[in-house]
Structure 1
Amino acid sequence: MTSPSADTAAPTVDRASVRAEAEASLRALVGRDDAALRDDQWTAIEALAVDRRRALVVQRTGWGKSAVYFVATALLRARGAGPTVIVSPLLALMRNQIQAAERAGIHAVTINSTNPEDWTRIEAAIAAGEVDVLLVSPERLNNPGFRDEVLPRLAATTGLLVVDEAHCISDWGHDFRPDYRRIRTMLADLRPGIPVLATTATANARVTRDVAEQLAPPEASDELSGVLVQRGSLDRESLRLGVVRLPTPDMRLAWLADNLGSLPGSGIVYCLTVAATQEVAAYLRERGHVVAAYSGQTETSEREALEGDLAAGRVKALIATSALGMGFDATLGFVINLGAPASPVSYYQQVGRAGRGTDDAVVVLLPGIEDRDIWAYFASLAFPREELVRQTLSVLADAGRPLSTAVLETYVDLNRTRLETMLKVLDVDGAVQRVSGGWTATGQEWSYDRERYARVAEARQREQQAMLDYLTWDGCRMAYLRGQLDDEAPERCGRCDNCGGLSTPAEVSEAAAADARAALGRPGVALAPRKMWPTALANLGIDLKGKISDGAAEGRSIARLTDLGHGQALRELFRDTTPDGPVPLPLIQAMVTVLQDWRPRVDAIVFVESARRPALVRDLADGLSRYLQVPIVGRWSIVDPSVDPGRGAANSAQRVAAVLRRSALEGQVPAGASVLLVDDRTVTGWSLTVAARAIRAAGAEHVVPLVLAADS
């Protein structure tokens, strides 16, 4: 069977009248009587609604990709086609699209992680044929109930499948997501002749070809037969790009405080970590700016309210991680990046949130020397080593029943996020299956594609170097970014700082710099105690479960390693190349400030023995003993040095088991004492929790942890 074409699929169609019908739908969608389709938009709509083809549209943000699939939906539904299914990871975009669809008389609904109470009602409406458009998050595609009950029905009745943010399908893409690989299964289950649209604003030539190959229908004569690939110019004519390089975090924060008020309209300040969003937002509010922090940890209802505030201009800026993806109808005047993303493609996507609906938007990057440390951390979350994958498959095969990720953690030394990501990849590869109650092994042979993972890792390294090169680039910045996306561009855009179109001050006022130094220099981060023991510790022979009633109280650290202020000094202290030694003077002063602000009751000190930095921890404990004038009464000693210091740090159950094997309390704890538990660094909190439990069992009434640094 060959792919439908304009000659074979609909030889009698009056394409001019269909285009007129399409433009009427567009006018209803956008609410403007003068709206008209551009030729490139019509080409995509015609391929879908008339020729019933598969298409990949790579066009810049704001080009009108959503108009293509909504108009195509209206045309197809008018001709008796089933509902359109849109797979999208952007919840904010979903909400905006539903509102736009309703204006055009299209009944759109969504199934995602934020509305589980509506799933049953929505699935019933889909079955009854009452839904024109279903927007679904990629994570739902592999939910056992949705996959086994709803997905087959959708595949059998869908009139159009849309894959938004399609670069996520490709592991060469900057934002690869294993859940997107489930779309391959849905593509294979579609009836012949069902149109498919994939859209993205951020795909280079390699990603474009990879996605197009995956879109190719099974009846195609070759990999790309039947797939319309439409790549337009990725230039963003409204954006004025600039880079301001300042040497220290306090100067960058001061620059932001000095210049935020003069930036046009409302916008986004992107940060690399959740901690930074909170730190920066708090400081800017102190300086009188109307801002709020936003991240993946923000509650759903609050996220919706904040998105509305930003779109309506009720806040000057959201200080956000990359979790913030605004919808197509948000008009933003600026995007500032406080820290550089790990690739030019990721950066291009973030700055593309600005300049929609406005002729002029300011985009400034404020890179930091700490950026590379953060990139390295996220790179450490790549696909696990082969032995860990094999171990997981073996555990599932031996179990003979479904195992949850919480139970698997007691057997495999991976944290939950990495474990779930790995299982999703194995699921798509056919080696495991997600079922009610957890995961099972299929018994299907699976091979570890070491070369492929290495190629992807090498590509990531090249992307990081390309981002570093952008910082020092003396040519046109828009041309550079477009070049990274294999998009031909003129040598000069005329709008960026290097082309003379944007003047970005590189100085900060003394008052702002002093304020920022004071804000960032104020140490003290609360350490929340662990409240529940990990699930299924009995699998490891440990009789601990439920609520922790004999653990530590809330503690303190000077800062997180990711913090803008003392974070840099702490990162330097804990680098592998930094020799062991006493606590540096600035950190001693910071620790004194923490204690003066905190003022815990302390009768005695117990310190955690360290194999890596014994001198550092001992010096810290001795100094605290002198300052607080209380004795050191014990230590959490290493009794089994064969257990590596970092053993089990990837997941809670493994970490508790490792700590119990490795260490034990030595010393005499005074009955009823409040004990300060001193360590150099906390990663998971389990060492402090288990040590505190032992100290309380020895007679202490309270245990309060105090450490130099917290990982997060």
Structure 2
Amino acid sequence: MSDAGNHGAGPAEDGPGAVEVGEHVLDTAPAGGGPGGLREAAGQVLVQLTGRADAQFRDGQFEAIEALVSGRRRALVVQRTGWGKSAVYFVASRLIRQGFGQRAGAGGPTLIISPLLALMRDQVAAAARAGVRAVTINSSNATEWDDVLAALDRNEVDVLLISPERLTNPKFRERVLGRLLGGVGMIVVDEAHCISDWGHDFRPDYRRIGALLAELPADLPVLATTATANERVVDDVAAQLGADTLVIRGPLARDSLRLGVADTAPPGRRIAWLAEHLGDFAGSGIIYTLTVSAAQDVARALRQAGWEVAPYTGGTDTEEREALEARLKGNDLKALVATSALGMGFDKPDLGFVIHLGAPSSAVAYYQQVGRAGRATDSADVLLLPGPEDPDIWEYFATASMPDPEAARAVLAALDAARADSDSGGGSPALSVPALEPLVGAKRSRLELLLKTLQVDGAVDRVAGGFVSTGAGWTYDEERYAAVAQARRREAQAMLDYEAGRMCRMRFLAEQLDDPAASDCGRCDVCAGPWWSSEVSEEGRSRAESVLSGVGLELDPRAAWPTGLPKIGVQLKGKIPEAERVGPGRVIARLTDLGPGQALRGFLAAGAEDAPVPANIGSWCLRVLSEWEWAERPTAVVGVPSAVRPHTVRSLAAELAAAGKLIDAGDLQLLHDPGTPDSNSAYRLRGLHDAFFVPEPVAQAVAGQVVLLVDTEVVSRWTMTIAGRELRLAGAKEVLPFALALRA
């Protein structure tokens, strides 16, 4: 989390004996030790930074600065949000720029590695207020790189902020990193728990940092900071920094937070409660959800109830994110309804509340999110509204960052073949992600994550044009990844234990962080009883459920085949001809939404009975069809054959035909198992290609007809694309896909 706040934002949470410096809470008691010259200079910089003539260093701040500047050491600072970690690196940066800490290359700029653009924006603004010349290089300002490099060459930059992804970017490594590292004065790694795969927010790109530090001089000052790390993560990060790493750790409990957990309840009741009680929370805040669709559903319901809120997800454009962040900081919004995309680095010291509609899978991750509230206020409210669907969502994300060994072997085989071909005069040895997709079974997001892991492990390297094999090979560390998976399961159980409320909420979270100062807070619902009203009116619940019961999502038709299909034996490429293309389709809802998706997820769950479509889902089907503004009404129905739910598909087709007085043309024939839908587009196409056959009776029935093609789920849209293509080739005038659910 960023420690760069607005100066004078409000009362500090630490009470007497401290002064508030924006978000930095600095101790006024005399601090001892340290060379007089360095301490005096550091104090002067601190006064400039804070604008307070009486500002003094908080316990541990000068010790970290001294270790970095005078001792030229590597330090790991684990302190709660608001302690003033950014004060450490801004003051140390200024001192190094002034020539303190003589070493080869001393006086150069500080390189700060930060995880998110929001964090960078806040830190650049804070640096400017402190007289520190800070610039950033990231994916959103590539057109400004030349200006930044020119400023570096002119020695006009004190701090350069980059994301960890830059370290693996060949353009950045070629143009920036080499020339910068030769004269860098200090390196800062923010949110350092991301380095450790034992951390709740491990990121493969961060592991590159450890490799980078190992190649640098031992006397180059390095500061790593985090507010959320238990002992195992601390030990792991310290070991990666180096054997002589200084660890400065303080108490992590937040005195300003009042924690509570409501009873587990279905989405309708929880959203109704929010709509009726959001005004009970002072100021503006954040409402966290676990999925994108939940954020959109909740924001829509709250807006209809009259609240000024907006959704904020990974799909929100950068410009819109900045605008939404500014509106929340300016209290123009009551709340942002956000996924974890509103993550580390968002800085609003007077944030009044954090509410979770659905629990994160880790108590440590939960504490990091709630720690955004009450940084510069006497009190802030934090409430968790858990849902019965939470554990299913946790399970999905539990192993998302772990490499698939089969996919890894396929990647390396493809890159080795490309290198061998290149050595024989066959062109470049590099393969791009799109070129690798048809050769590997992983979806693009998983493939990109896998390539990051292989790059960090030294098996591949990223160059202009894509990735190349290093020839070093790669071994799947089954024992380590099994241990990480077990750690994730323990974290999930700890979250359930937190919800159970058998001890003080704050103490529980502090103990999860191995905080030796953990103690009862006296404010949470366990210590002092519930501080919120649990009442929800029937009218409010009815309104919320009405909003959530909205059905009908449009499916855009596929217009082009994936690249690289001929390489894997499928002779399709380019645009899909209009005469072979399906039209726009519909599904009832996403499986992850908070309305019909709940019932659909239960009905379509793995291992559930292959049963006819129940009445409630059938009524949703008819509602979607009645509201579908098609160019031409369907006249026939065809079912997609299913090896898992054949009775469900057949009942769906028959009932829709009867209700709409359409021709029940029967089902397509399945010629072979098309394989799993959980693969990338090229692999999915290879499995589906020639999988469907149009029997003669079906062909006769659909000739010249507008066909409603029905299935239980849509995952990639390729099943509907291929099955619909067969029907178009058999003479159907148009094919309109329809399914119960979208798995996304």
Q: When the two structures are superposed, what TM-score results if normalisation uses the length of structure 2?
A: 0.90
Alignment of 1:431-470 (within 5 A): 431-470=459-498
Alpha-carbon contact 1:62-1:328 (below 8 Å) kept: no
* Residue in structure 1 matched with residue 422 of structure 2 by the alignment: none
Tell whether 2:423 aligns with 1:423.
no
* Residue in structure 2 matched with residue 60 of structure 1 by the alignment: 80
* Residue in structure 1 matched with residue 423 of structure 2 by the alignment: none
Match of 2:643 among 611, 618, 630: 611
Match of 1:108 among 126, 134, 150: 134
Amino acid at match of 1:46: E
Amino acid at match of 1:570: L
Instruction: Rate the CA distance shift 1:258–1:246 in 2: closer, same or farther, 3 A.
Output: farther
* Residue in structure 2 matched with residue 536 of structure 1 by the alignment: 564
Tell whether 2:351 aligns with 1:323.
no
Alpha-carbon contact 1:552-1:689 (below 8 Å) kept: yes
Q: CA–CA distance in 1 between the matches of 2:176 and 2:504?
A: 49
* Residue in structure 1 matched with residue 206 of structure 2 by the alignment: 180
Match of 1:659 among 666, 680, 688: 688
Alpha-carbon contact 1:607-1:678 (below 8 Å) kept: yes
What are the superposed Cα offsets for residues 370-423 of structure 1, whole Å, 9 maximum, x if unpaired?
Answer: 111111111252423323222221111012211111111111110111111111
Name whichever of 56-65 and 626-635 sits farther off.
626-635
Deviation at residue 311 of structure 1 after TM alignment = 0.9
Amino acid at match of 2:361: A
Q: CA–CA distance in 2 between the matches of 1:609 and 1:711?
A: 18
Name whichever of 112-121 and 267-276 sits farther off.
112-121
Alpha-carbon contact 2:47-2:55 (below 8 Å) kept: yes
Deviation at residue 599 of structure 1 after TM alignment = 4.5
* Residue in structure 2 matched with residue 384 of structure 1 by the alignment: 403
Deviation at residue 502 of structure 1 after TM alignment = 5.1
Match of 1:18 among 33, 38, 45: 38
Alpha-carbon contact 1:582-1:615 (below 8 Å) kept: yes
Q: CA–CA distance in 1 between the matches of 2:183 and 2:135?
A: 16
* Residue in structure 1 matched with residue 102 of structure 2 by the alignment: none
Deviation at residue 259 of structure 1 after TM alignment = 1.2
Alignment of 1:636-647 (within 5 A): 636-641=668-673, 643-644=674-675, 646=676
* Residue in structure 1 matched with residue 362 of structure 2 by the alignment: 343
Amino acid at match of 2:679: A
Alpha-carbon contact 2:710-2:737 (below 8 Å) kept: yes
Q: CA–CA distance in 2 between the matches of 1:317 and 1:252?
A: 16
Deviation at residue 533 of structure 1 after TM alignment = 2.2
Tell me, what secondary structure is at the counterpart of 1:39? Answer: coil
Match of 2:430 among 402, 413, 416: 402
Q: CA–CA distance in 2 between the matches of 1:36 and 1:548?
A: 68
What are the superposed Cα offsets for residues 616-658 of structure 1, whole Å, 9 maximum, x if unpaired?
Answer: 00000000000111112253321123x43x2x53201111111
Tell me the C-alpha RMSD between the 2 structures: 1.7
Match of 1:234 among 235, 243, 252: 252
Tell me, what secondary structure is at the counterpart of 1:278? Answer: helix
Tell whether 2:708 aligns with 1:679.
no
Amino acid at match of 2:282: P
Q: CA–CA distance in 2 between the matches of 1:479 and 1:14?
A: 34
Deviation at residue 273 of structure 1 after TM alignment = 0.6
Deviation at residue 491 of structure 1 after TM alignment = 4.0
What are the superposed Cα offsets for residues 577-607 of structure 1, whole Å, 9 maximum, x if unpaired?
Answer: 3111100111111112212222532111121
Match of 1:622 among 634, 640, 654: 654
Alpha-carbon contact 1:603-1:674 (below 8 Å) kept: yes
Match of 1:562 among 570, 578, 592: 592
Instruction: Rate the CA distance shift 1:231–1:490 in 2: closer, same or farther, 3 A.
Output: closer
Q: CA–CA distance in 2 between the matches of 1:15 and 1:287?
A: 61
Alpha-carbon contact 1:497-1:504 (below 8 Å) kept: no
* Residue in structure 1 matched with residue 98 of structure 2 by the alignment: 78
Amino acid at match of 2:462: R
Instruction: Rate the CA distance shift 1:528–1:393 in 2: closer, same or farther, 3 A.
Output: same
Instruction: Rate the CA distance shift 1:636–1:405 in 2: closer, same or farther, 3 A.
Output: farther
Deviation at residue 200 of structure 1 after TM alignment = 0.4
Amino acid at match of 2:686: A
Alpha-carbon contact 2:461-2:468 (below 8 Å) kept: yes
What are the superposed Cα offsets for residues 9-37 of structure 1, whole Å, 9 maximum, x if unpaired?
Answer: xxxx9833422322332233334444332
Q: CA–CA distance in 2 between the matches of 1:33 and 1:290?
A: 40
- Unmatched segments (≥5 aa) in structure 2: 1-32, 100-105, 420-428
Q: CA–CA distance in 1 between the matches of 2:69 and 2:503?
A: 43
Amino acid at match of 1:660: H
Q: CA–CA distance in 2 between the matches of 1:236 and 1:368?
A: 26
Alignment of 1:162-561 (within 5 A): 162-216=188-242, 224-225=243-244, 227-325=245-343, 326-400=345-419, 401-500=429-528, 503-550=531-578, 551-561=581-591
* Residue in structure 2 matched with residue 36 of structure 1 by the alignment: 56
Deviation at residue 337 of structure 1 after TM alignment = 0.5
Tell me, what secondary structure is at the counterpart of 1:392? Answer: helix
Q: CA–CA distance in 2 between the matches of 1:59 and 1:661?
A: 59
Q: CA–CA distance in 1 between the matches of 2:266 and 2:570?
A: 47
Name whichever of 379-388 and 419-428 sits farther off.
379-388
Name whichever of 268-277 and 659-668 sits farther off.
659-668
Alpha-carbon contact 1:267-1:333 (below 8 Å) kept: yes
Match of 2:185 among 159, 175, 179: 159
Instruction: Rate the CA distance shift 1:549–1:123 in 2: closer, same or farther, 3 A.
Output: farther
- Paired residues in the alignment total 689
Alpha-carbon contact 1:265-1:332 (below 8 Å) kept: yes
Deviation at residue 329 of structure 1 after TM alignment = 4.6
Alpha-carbon contact 1:535-1:653 (below 8 Å) kept: yes
Name whichever of 344-353 and 570-579 sits farther off.
570-579
Alpha-carbon contact 1:96-1:329 (below 8 Å) kept: no
Tell me, what secondary structure is at the counterpart of 1:511? Answer: helix
- Unmatched segments (≥5 aa) in structure 1: 1-12, 217-223
Deviation at residue 572 of structure 1 after TM alignment = 1.1
What are the superposed Cα offsets for residues 545-589 of structure 1, whole Å, 9 maximum, x if unpaired?
Answer: 333443222221111110111112111112223111100111111
Q: CA–CA distance in 2 between the matches of 1:208 and 1:661?
A: 54
Instruction: Rate the CA distance shift 1:599–1:146 in 2: closer, same or farther, 3 A.
Output: closer
What are the superposed Cα offsets for residues 286-340 of structure 1, whole Å, 9 maximum, x if unpaired?
Answer: 0000000001110000000001111111100000010103434542000001101
Tell whether 2:73 aligns with 1:48.
no
* Residue in structure 2 matched with residue 694 of structure 1 by the alignment: 726
Alpha-carbon contact 2:258-2:379 (below 8 Å) kept: yes
Percent identity (aligned):
53
Alpha-carbon contact 1:28-1:103 (below 8 Å) kept: no
Q: CA–CA distance in 2 between the matches of 1:593 and 1:380?
A: 37
Alpha-carbon contact 2:692-2:726 (below 8 Å) kept: no
Deviation at residue 228 of structure 1 after TM alignment = 0.9
Q: CA–CA distance in 2 between the matches of 1:491 and 1:83?
A: 41
Alpha-carbon contact 1:261-1:289 (below 8 Å) kept: no
Deviation at residue 426 of structure 1 after TM alignment = 1.2
Q: CA–CA distance in 2 between the matches of 1:368 and 1:563?
A: 12
Deviation at residue 354 of structure 1 after TM alignment = 0.8
Alpha-carbon contact 2:290-2:359 (below 8 Å) kept: yes
Instruction: Rate the CA distance shift 1:698–1:32 in 2: closer, same or farther, 3 A.
Output: farther
Amino acid at match of 2:688: V
Alpha-carbon contact 2:511-2:518 (below 8 Å) kept: no
Q: When the two structures are superposed, what TM-score results if normalisation uses the length of structure 1?
A: 0.94
Tell me, what secondary structure is at the counterpart of 2:606? Answer: coil
* Residue in structure 1 matched with residue 12 of structure 2 by the alignment: none
Match of 2:607 among 577, 591, 599: 577
Alpha-carbon contact 1:155-1:191 (below 8 Å) kept: no
Instruction: Rate the CA distance shift 1:259–1:285 in 2: closer, same or farther, 3 A.
Output: same
Q: CA–CA distance in 2 between the matches of 1:104 and 1:323?
A: 28
Q: CA–CA distance in 1 between the matches of 2:206 and 2:354?
A: 28
Match of 2:626 among 560, 573, 596: 596
